[in-house]
Structure 1
């Protein structure tokens, strides 16, 4: 299932995957609409009787390159509503389905920009991107990963954050130097972890990332 708030774009994405032999289907899902989230969970329960993997891939960045002190509060709130609150709402709605799975997995697509360690290192490549809204929302998502992983540590469910790297997407005007295929590597890896795999961690394709 491919969740998207835009029906046309979601349907086009599902159709493109179908041409590659993937059994993909569009489902309407708007992170800022509680009814949409509830309906999506109900549809999945009815049609599939469960859910094995949830990949939370929503992400927006408002405010351009505004300095933290100059960022409008409205931009901060809207960014958090999608990147954090909306993602948590979807996760909570899907949890009953994921817990029915013998190997449920939640992958929160975060960012190296959400790493406090990277941001606090003046020599790190991420340090120059001093984005209050986006960076802090992804740091908050990382904390959510830890707390959910702790809650369900005695179950088969595993919850991890993944960093896709600087990928060419709408978010950055396709200026990223990584392809979507490269970015998907960590998502697939975390979605298909064995029973002895990690939970409550932050990873890219090369290994663990500091918080």
Structure 2
């Protein structure tokens, strides 16, 4: 195995559109070799080609809920670059395929399982697969894209209509973030959560008040925190959030 990339290497999951794509763009402009992970090969290749003007952007097929796909992506990145410096767990869904928003008293467990499969369990699968490559970095960084909706306080669960399924999946993601940070505290890896705010993307039928570029800023910053920077915390822009 030969290392072909000298500059820092990042992987962003669910990155062919929206916030993920904006994170890829920002990291590429910062000098990273960025692997754009997407489950749809055609959309992924098109997005990577369109972002070539920003820097070294490479498409990697990645269906985060498939262990085989995750392993293949790890092998591809290891073969091309020999290590990983930044993992951004951005892939997520708001509801089960074919399902719509449901009030908690109308929700069914099967819908929750589908959302947790992508928003929680897949994060564990992807993170554990790539930790060996992150440990080869002198400054490994993991950024989990979360949401203020994951808060059980006044800024989260008590805002707007109750959204138990999506919101609680982000609450679980925040807890996972802290436990990974604790487990990796003696290594060069830092793990933090990035809450992009209410961003206008296809995820919410473009009803958000922020642009994808604005939402991506916090993840891009956390991907580059120095050795004295935070770990095990969640941020919205410069503000640390309380959960």
The TM-score range, normalised by the shorter chain, is over 0.9
| 1:76-87 map, 5 Å | 76-87=112-123
- Structure 2: how far apart are the matches of 1:26 and 1:188? 19
Partner of 2:144: 108
Match of 2:229 in 1: 197
Q: Distance in 2 between matches of 1:92 and 1:118?
A: 33
Runs of 5+ in structure 2 lacking a partner? 1-34
4+ long deviations beyond 2 Å: 118-122
2:192 aligned partner: 160
> Which residue is equivalent to 2:60?
27
Bigger helix fraction: 1
2:69 is the alignment partner of 1:69: no
Number of aligned residue pairs: give it.
206
1:168 and 1:178 in contact (8 A); partners too: yes
Unaligned runs of 5+ in 1: none
TM-score by length of structure 1 reads 0.94
C-alpha contact (below 8 Å) 1:109/1:187 kept by paired residues: yes
Q: Displacement of 1:120 after TM fit?
A: 6.8
Q: CA RMSD in A?
A: 1.3
Describe the shift of the 1:16–1:129 C-alpha distance in structure 2 as closer, same or farther (beyond 3 A): farther
Deviation at 1:140, TM superposition (A): 0.4
1:112 touches 1:118 (CA, 8 Å); kept in 2?
no
Q: Distance in 2 between matches of 1:121 and 1:90?
A: 27
Q: Deviations over 1:87-118 (max 9, x none)?
A: 11000000000011000000000000001123
What TM-score comes out, normalization by structure 2 length?
0.82
